[in-house]
Structure 1
């Protein structure tokens, strides 16, 4: 999803205590400095459906609601998806 300013929403599905999730978040935050994206971090423990769907796959990254990568997080896939979402 893109907002009025052309900023693309990137969602990181994670859970507390997940060191792979923390590493992915740091890499995505660094990427956000170079791209028009906003990172939203969602704890899968907050939603039973998300927990069931992603528990064994986290971290999972979605761009505009579509999953684009899982562990290991592919930043080039995220970059391409963000640029494609901008049209």
Structure 2
């Protein structure tokens, strides 16, 4: 699984939170809304990855989207609880 990598020229690190999803997925929309609320409260940004743009990710996550990871660890799929994401963010 390839995650966004830091760009030293930009001085930014890869996001800790990744939302794997696809266009037209209503559960992905719900997960995005939840992650936006978490970002507002914690300041922790998230990145979105379209699984349909990568054959490996499409095969891995096809029927599970949305999938949310924090620091590369899967926190859930389909309906992800914000409490679980917040707890994972607090561990570091």
Runs of 4+ in 1 over 3 A off after TM superposition: none
List per-residue Cα deviations over 1:30-79 (Å, max 9, x = no partner).
Answer: 11111141110100011111100101100100001111111111111100
Alignment of 1:1-87 (within 5 A): 9-84=16-91, 86=92
Gaps of 5+ in 1: none
SS in 1 for 2:45: strand
Larger-gyration structure (1/2): 2
Output the TM-score relative to the length of structure 1: 0.85
Pairwise CA RMSD: 2.0
Q: Is the 8 A contact 2:21 2:67 kept in 1?
A: yes
Q: Which has the higher contact order (CA 8 A, sep 6+)?
A: 1
Supply the distance in 1 between the matched residues of 2:83 and 2:34 (Cα, whole angstroms).
11
Supply the distance in 1 between the matched residues of 2:45 and 2:31 (Cα, whole angstroms).
14
Gaps of 5+ in 2: 1-5
The count of residues paired between Structure 1 and Structure 2 equals 82
Higher strand content, 1 or 2: 1
Output the TM-score relative to the length of structure 2: 0.80
